Amino acid sequence: MKTIFDKTTRGELINRINTLNENSTAQWGKMNVYQMLKHCTRWEEMMLGNKKYKRAFIGRLFGKMALKNVLKDEKPLRRNTPTIPELKISGNGNVLAQKAEWVARIDEYEHFSNLDFVHPFFGKMTKEQIGHMVYKHIDHHLRQFNS
């Protein structure tokens, strides 16, 4: 299974991100390209340990089981998968600047050190789980915008 901790995989994802532009449209969901870029940048900040969000009660009940299900194979994440409220973005902004910020966050995985990470829904995750989940999340949104 692909992981964000592999340099070649990071490069492939960044190349896909670079195909996005102001005219990119979603194949599903409600986000525009700027909102998706901002959502993903905030998500990387969370995974890297720069932002923390409160654990969801439902996640405490079902998070571990859901994580196991998501990471059991290489299938992409389901369309219209819910997100935590703090990662819902509205409005518009500078697509080029947001792409550059997202790529910068992705580059930070080369020196990842957030080994005590607790996801707001899935709970405590191992480095291996983080690597696979980050890849799947990025891939999900790039597929959403046909990149």
* pTM score of the predicted model: 0.96
Measured in degrees and rounded to the nearest 5, phi and psi for residue 145 equal: -105, 20
Q: Residue by residue, what is the 3-state secondary structure of 56-119? A: CHHHHHHHHHHHHHHCCCCCCCCCCCCCCHHHCCCCCCCHHHHHHHHHHHHHHHHHCCCCCCEE
- The answer to whether the beta carbons of residues 17 and 104 sit under 8 Å apart is no
Q: How is residue 124 annotated by DSSP? A: E
pLDDT band at 4 (very low <50, low <70, confident <90, very high): very high
Tens of pLDDT, residue by residue over 65-118, are 999 999 999 999 999 988 999 999 999 999 999 999 999 999 999 999 999 999
